[in-house]
């Protein structure tokens, strides 16, 4: 019998450190060729869009389909279907919102673990939604943070973000009036905005003291979060999917401008497996577009921990026609 796992249960059994560990483990599987990851299937319809992706992890025996739809003016809903790729059985239907937050944050955490600092760091964030909160939560699990700044174009949103995250993490988070003010002078910078524009949200000239830049908000080719110069000046650009160079507008622009040669690119899997070393100095850029493999790693752990728990909602398996 398959089980339904809601977002409350996901939040109860996962932690930032555990999610980083899970993504490191599955990245090693990926580096060994023990996984399959599909490109995203994107479709647009009146007042909305749908995106579907799939991955399989041969080592664990799990496969996962991630689907999420957005309705203009309402928001996005996420669903993860976990299957047993040996028997074909449906194992779990998982509310994917918290999975998405955890896995996007944890992907940045995988990189952050490999960009150490000898002192407490400061963090600048553009964006105040779920992803921005997840990024700061993950970074706080990796680094001692002395203070953070946040910008959102909506004053009430940046104020509530600062208040909530200050209370949650026990650090000072200041709301500021512009993206530039949010990121100047910070060691670690996060772009997690909902901007849908061909103009960059962040510019390289603002990142004077930045060592690690995590761009996680945009996953569409027609939009941009960071400018090509950020990639041009980076010592290394890390992606969580080889499809990122087709999916993310900032990477498409950087490649077209000739500032992102193969020698300056790496995947998360190569970093984790030791196939590529992170330079000890200079700007490191991490661009995340998200993969169903990341969703699979977290959904699989939720299933392992919750499937026998009393009170879990059970669902009949789907009929198989052979």
DSSP 8-state class, residue 95: E
Percent helix, strand, coil in the chain (nearest 5)? 35, 30, 35
CATH architecture of 2-100+293-315: 2-Layer Sandwich (3.30)
* pLDDT mean over 110-131: 97
Residue 321 has pLDDT above 70, yes or no: no
Alpha helix (H) residue ranges in the chain: 7-13, 16-31, 96-112, 130-142, 155-169, 179-183, 228-233, 244-247, 249-256, 268-273, 292-306
Q: Look at domain 106-290 and name its CATH class.
A: alpha beta
Q: Where are the domains of the chain?
A: 2-100+293-315, 106-290
* pLDDT mean over 280-301: 97
* pLDDT mean over 97-110: 97
Mean of per-residue pLDDT scores for the chain: 95
* pLDDT mean over 61-68: 98
Residue 317 has pLDDT above 80, yes or no: no
Is 146 within 8 Å of 120 (Cβ atoms)? yes
**What are 209-222's pLDDT values in tens digits?**
899 999 999 888 89
């Amino acid at each position: 019998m398959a089980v339904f796992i809601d977002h409350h249960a996901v939040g109860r059994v996962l932690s930032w450190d555990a999610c980083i560990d899970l993504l490191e483990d599955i990245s090693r599987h990926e580096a060994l060729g023990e996984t399959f990851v599909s490109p995203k299937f994107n479709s647009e319809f009146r007042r909305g869009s749908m995106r579907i992706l799939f991955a399989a992890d041969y080592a664990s025996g799990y496969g996962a389909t991630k689907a999420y739809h957005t309705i203009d003016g309402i928001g996005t809903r996420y669903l993860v279907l976990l299957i047993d790729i040996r028997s074909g059985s449906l194992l779990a239907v998982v509310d994917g919102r918290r999975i998405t937050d955890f896995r996007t944050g944890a992907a940045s955490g995988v990189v952050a673990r490999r960009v150490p600092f000898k002192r407490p760091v400061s963090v600048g964030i553009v964006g105040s939604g779920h992803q921005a909160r997840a990024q700061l939560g993950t970074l706080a699990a990796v680094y001692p943070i002395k203070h953070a700044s946040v910008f959102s174009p909506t004053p009430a949103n940046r104020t509530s973000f600062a208040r909530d995250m200050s209370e949650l993490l026990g650090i000072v988070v200041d709301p500021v009036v512009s993206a530039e003010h949010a990121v100047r002078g910070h060691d670690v910078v996060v772009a997690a905005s909902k901007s849908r524009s061909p103009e960059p949200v962040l510019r390289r000239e603002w990142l004077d003291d930045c060592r690690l830049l995590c761009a996680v908000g945009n996953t569409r080719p027609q939009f941009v979060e960071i400018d090509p110069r950020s990639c041009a000046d980076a010592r290394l650009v890390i992606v969580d999917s080889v499809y990122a160079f087709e999916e993310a507008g900032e990477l498409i622009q950087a490649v077209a401008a000739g500032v992102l040669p193969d020698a300056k690119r790496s995947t998360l899997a190569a970093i984790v497996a030791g196939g590529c070393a992170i330079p000890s100095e200079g700007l490191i850029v991490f661009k995340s577009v998200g993969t169903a493999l990341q969703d699979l790693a977290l959904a699989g752990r939720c299933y392992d921990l919750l499937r026998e728990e009393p009170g879990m909602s059970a669902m009949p398996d789907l009929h198989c026609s052979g």
